[in-house]
Amino acid sequence: MIKSIILAAGKGTRMKSDTPKVLHQIYSRTLLEYVIDAVNETGLADENYIIVGHQAERVEEFVKNKYSNAKTVLQSPQLGTGHAVSMVCPYLNDFDGEIIILCGDTPLITSDTLKTFVEAHRKMGSDITVMSAIFDNPTNYGRIIRNSDGSLNSIVEEKDATPVQKAVQEINAGIYCLNWQKIKNAFSQLKTNNAQGEYYLTDIVEWGNNNNLKVNAHILERNEEIYGINSKSNLAQATKMLTQRTLDKYMTNGISIVDPNSTWIDPLTEIGKDTIIYPSTYIEGVNKIGNNCKIGPFAHLRGDVVIEDNVKIGNYVEVKKSHIKSNTNACHLTYIGDSEIGSDVNIGAGTITANYDPLSKVKSKTIIEDNVKIGSNSVLVAPVTIEEGANVGALSVITKNISKWSLAITRAPLKVLDGWVSKRLKK
């Protein structure tokens, strides 16, 4: 097994936010989650060390509550990326294996890429392998400088690069794989003789070469995976990139996305074949949608939703934390929350499951059994159960359980006042 070190100490000044940069979210997950999850999903790593600094307590609390195989390590003061990694050295003194180092603000990195990277490191017999990428415009990236035999000579930061070095299009992707026992001493020997006056992680390349270690670079296939988040604009762009990747996967698997440009789906959502997602639909969180469903347009699934086969969730319908069984329709202007809904149910337009008590702040469950019909503009005040086959008349407010095959109706009697309008107009 390998271990990871994830750099997450930065302030993220350009985010202009009180939230630490790595705790900003894309859909239902933080930037840091995407990185940790990618490492964990390789199946190679048994422990992750998260370097924290800015608002360390918030990041520490998040990691502690979310992951059992991650430990936070404080970097204070923050003296550069090389200094950040050195904070972990006391914890890894006896570790004899491979370490991968990543940044906590690159949410598009995938487990497949990380597995390929570690495999390349092993195949080349490297002691240090740096992930690299080719960019037409490499401005602001550290440049990969190779030897004539293709091995890695050095990484030169933009501010320290000569004009010739700046012309190099191969850049440092910021991910490293190290044979730890051979490299760990480097972190006590790094220098600050650079434009920033910091301990650069990139300087381990020069250190490795000076100590006759095998140093290489492995070129990343998909450049988008190292896209870093430094601003809200970057966050929006990364969301688009992740969404397009997700939609492409769905369409390859037989799901119809009518308009990918207006459809937003969390990668944690599973969708069955022959389901159609109509325009302006937003789906976030962990959800499971079955086969032959129709979702949208203008639908919103908010997480913890299970939708079985042949269900229709129509325009302006919002669903959260609910299970909807097969052949059920909720087609118009409806809110379904904290609910269990059976098969062959029809939910009329404008129906609301009133699941939240603002005084007690308790959310309760609505249960609608098989073959129930809910009339338009009804309110079901939870906790409540509508038993099998019951009908709820339009405009009803349901505050108690309804027995099987009953009609429940709270509509006021209709009054017609003949000539009322004419009399008013004459006045």
> What are the distances in angstroms from CA 233 to CA 228, 237, 307, 318?
11, 6, 34, 28
Q: What's the CA gap between 44 and 102, in Å, rounded?
A: 15
pLDDT in tens, the chain (427 residues): 899 999 999 988 999 999 999 999 999 999 999 999 999 999 999 999 999 999 999 999 999 999 999 999 999 999 999 999 999 999 999 999 999 999 999 999 999 999 999 999 999 999 999 999 999 999 989 999 999 999 999 998 888 889 999 999 999 999 999 999 999 999 999 988 777 778 989 999 999 999 999 999 999 999 999 999 999 999 999 999 999 999 999 999 999 999 999 999 999 999 999 999 999 999 999 999 999 999 999 999 999 999 999 999 999 999 999 999 999 999 999 999 999 999 999 999 999 999 998 889 999 999 999 999 999 999 999 999 999 999 999 999 999 999 999 999 998 888 999 999 999 998 7
Residues 220 and 261 in one domain: no
Q: Please report whether residue 413 resides in a domain.
A: no
Among the three residues 207, 226, 245, which one is the final residue of a domain in this structure? 226
217 and 251, same structural domain? no
Check whether residue 383 and residue 237 sit in a common domain: yes
CA dist 10 and 81 (Å) reads: 10
* Residue 418 placed within a domain: no
> Considering 226, 246, 274, which residue would you say is the last residue of a domain?
226
Q: Are residues 185 and 55 in the same domain?
A: yes
Q: Return the sign of the alpha-carbon dihedral for residues 126, 128, 131, 132.
A: negative
Does residue 169 sit in helix, strand or coil? coil
- CATH number of the structural domain spanning residue 355: 2.160.10.10
Asked whether the bond before 383 is cis by omega within 30 degrees of 0, the reply is yes
381 and 278 inside one domain: yes
Range of the domain at 345: 232-408
- Could you please report the per-residue DSSP string of 347-378? E-TT-EEE-EETTTTEE--EEE-TT-EE-TT-
Report yes or no on 422 lying in a domain.
no
Clarify whether residues 162 and 302 are in a common domain: no
Residue 260's CB is within 10 A of a number of other CB atoms, namely: 17
| Residues with active-site annotation | 332
Q: Are residues 220 and 236 in the same domain?
A: no
Q: Are residues 250 and 379 located together in one domain of the fold?
A: yes
Residue 424: inside a domain: no
Indicate whether 251 belongs to any domain. yes
Instruction: Give the per-residue pLDDT at 396.
Output: 97
Q: What is the pTM of this model?
A: 0.92
Token couple for 1: 């097994």
Q: Could you tell me if 218 and 236 lie in one domain?
A: no
Tally of structural domains, the chain: 2
Q: Verify that 7 and 131 share a domain, yes or no.
A: yes
- What tokens appear for 392 in the block? 């709820």
Q: Give dist(CA 82, CA 73) in Å, integer.
A: 14
Answer for the pair 183, 127: CB distance below 8 angstroms, yes or no.
yes
Tell me if 425 is assigned to some domain: no
What is the C-alpha radius of gyration for the chain, rounded to an integer number of angstroms?
28
**Residues 198 and 270 occupy one common structural domain:** no
**Which residues fall within 8 angstroms of residue 350, CB to CB, at 6 or more apart?**
332, 333, 334, 376, 377, 378
Distances (CA, A) of 199 to 207, 247, 427: 13, 41, 87
Beta-carbon contacts of 14 under 8 Å, excluding residues fewer than 6 positions away, are 230, 231
Please tell me whether residues 379 and 278 are part of one structural domain.
yes
Is 419 a member of any domain?
no
Residue 105 sits in a domain of what CATH number?
3.90.550.10
Let me know if residue 138 belongs to a domain: yes
